[in-house]
Amino acid sequence: MDGMKIAIQGSTGSFHHLAALRWFGESIEIVPCETFLGVFQALADLEADHAICAVENSLYGSINEVYDLLLAFKYPIVGELPEHIHQQLIGLPGADVSQISRVYSHPVALNQCREFLAEHLPAAEKIEYHDTAEAVALIKQLDNPTYAAIAGHAAAAHHGMQILQENIEDERTNFTRFLILDPSASEVAGANKASLILRTSHAPGALYRALGVFANLGINLTKLHSRPIRGQVWKYQFFIDIEADQRQLDTALSELSDLGCEVTILGHYKAAEEIEVD
C-alpha cells in the first residue's frame, strides 16, 4: 500500500491518523481534512484512494454527521477498526495545570473528559476546535502557558509539547469505532458483518416486523440508530449493523423486500476482533 492516499478528519498525530497507520501501514500519504464532509469530498474529487472515518464512540455515542454522509455518498464500507482512546491534557513545556484558563479540543474529546474538566479545571473556558492534533498546534502557536489542549500522546510528541496530565478520559472503556471506505471496493472475502439503512412503511408494527426478520434468521443486531429522512417530516430511517454471512444477508434482504422495506447496503465486511480493555 505504499504511497496510497488516505483521507482523514484531522492532521498528523490525530486519532484518525493513528487509526489509518494501524489499518494501512506506515507507507501511506495522509490527506488531512478539516471536516468529515471534507473526507468524503476528498474521495469524490479523487484526491484520496481510501478514507478512514470515526462513526461512534463508546462514551459520546454516534456521530450523526458521519451517518448522514454515509447515506449521501454511499462509499462502500470495507472494514471497521476499534481504537482505545486515551486523552491527554497538553500544554507548553513547564505549564502549571492549576493556571490553565482555556482548554481547546474537538467537541467529542471535550465530551469524553467532562468529569476531569469539571473537577480539576471548572473555571477554565472549554473551546471546541475542529481537530485534537490541530488544537495542540494552535496552543503552541499562541504560546500562552495558561492554554491547554486535549489530544493523544502522538500529537504532543509531534508538536514538541508537554503532557500535563495523562489519561484524563472519564472512562477506561473509551473506544472509538472507525470505518474504512473504499470507492472502488470489490467483495470482501470472509465478510460477516453488514451495515444497512432500513426504511419501513409508516404504519403500526412496520419496524417490529422488519426486525423480526433478523430475529427469525438468528441474525444478531449490533447497532440500531434512527436518523430523520430529509424532506419527510417526522419520518425516520434506521442505520443497522448486523452479524451475517452472505447467505444470511441475501435471505434477510429478500424477506425485507417482501415486507415492502427499502434497504441500502453500506458495506459487507469482516467484523473487528473483540476488543479488550487494557
Helix or strand holding residue 42 (H, E): helix 36-44
Considering 116, 176, 214, 239, which one is annotated as catalytic?
Answer: 176
Q: How far is CA 212 from CA 54, 206, 216, 222, 228, in A?
A: 29, 10, 6, 15, 22
Q: How far is residue 139 from each of residues 74, 162, 247, measured CA to CA in Å?
A: 37, 11, 53
**Secondary structure of 73-127 in the HEC alphabet?**
HCCCEEEEEEEECCCEEEECCCCCHHHCCEEEECHHHHHHCHHHHHHHCCCCEEE
Catalytic, 176? Answer yes
Q: Of 15, 40, 178, 214, which one is the catalytic site residue? A: 178
> 23 vs 5, 11, 128, 242, 274, CA distance in Å?
13, 16, 28, 22, 16
Assess whether 238 carries a catalytic annotation. Answer: no
SS3 143: coil
Distance CA 258, CA 134 (A): 50
- Nine-digit cell string for 259: 415486507
Q: Which residue do the cell numbers 500535563 mark?
A: 164
Where in the sequence numbering do the catalytic residues fall?
176, 178
